[in-house]
Structure 1
Amino acid sequence: MDDELDALSAAVGAACVASGHVIVSAESCTGGWVAEVLTATAGSSGWFDCGFVTYSNDAKQRLLGVPVDLLAAHGAVSEPVALAMVRGALARSAATIALSVTGIAGPGGATPGKPVGTVCFGWAVKDGAERTETRHFDGDRETVRRLSVRHTLTVLLALQAVQT
């Protein structure tokens, strides 16, 4: 792990301690990297509940309850699916705040209107604010995934600052 991700994780953990939030992650293209970054921080067992790595559409349906018709209508890489992922993660965990990441890290997988580097994010606070966003990151697979991890933690930190 690098210093930037270490610092972000420590800041997220401190914000969780201050706010009392517990995190759950629902990841696709990042393959558990967000959970790995968060759990590399000492003391994370006090503010990180669990992570779901739902790479396939079937796993998104089975583990997070993402409706098949939502996947069919919008595709896995979409804000509606990112929102369904955070809602499902909150419903299936003891967490109070959730994040989701679903995207096309490359080098293949692009579709019309969704080039490699397209990543959709979701964040939700239990019984509170929900937010989704789509970003595009340039670079190879590793770069897209790393930038996705950085972005989701940066926004999570900002969301927590608003919630405390």
Structure 2
Amino acid sequence: MRIFQDMGRLLQERWLKVQHSEEAFPDIAAEVLRELAPHQAFKTLEPLEWLYGTRDFPKQLTTRPGFGQPALTVFSDARLLIDLYYWVDGTTDIHQHGFCGAFQVLQGSSIHGHYHSRGHAEVMTRLKETFDAEEVDGQSDDIAALADSLRESTLFRPTFRG
């Protein structure tokens, strides 16, 4: 689709001007999304219709198999990838982005949460309240092992930005 070719070329040009700085790329990507407004350039299902109706589409390079229903690569080169992700009846798992860039919701809604680690003290307190190693016959070693593994693990709590 032409809008994605235009977007890819514009991103390439602007990113080259900053010597492909990964730090600068998210701002460049967000700027290009605002300028070209791809969400206004096509109907939501049009890229899928294009995919099934053309023989000239990019190699599908989804960065996370199973992420999207479906995921569709609409532009790619050696440094740059533009994917569309559709979700029909589900949502994504909590995940990290192993890339720099920008995203835009074309239709529907999205929750964008930031997570931070909470210490293990609360877990250990709850564990101690729930299990007293001396009260469990023959299980004290198992509970000690569980406690050790919980000390090494991390709990996450979402904090949402407006």
Q: Please classify the TM superposition score into its range, dividing by the shorter chain length.
A: under 0.3
Larger radius of gyration: 2
Q: Which has the higher strand share?
A: 1
In the superposition, the TM-score normalised over structure 1's length comes to: 0.24
Determine which structure has greater relative contact order: mean sequence separation of CA pairs < 8 Å that are 6+ residues apart, divided by chain length: 1
In the superposition, the TM-score normalised over structure 2's length comes to: 0.25
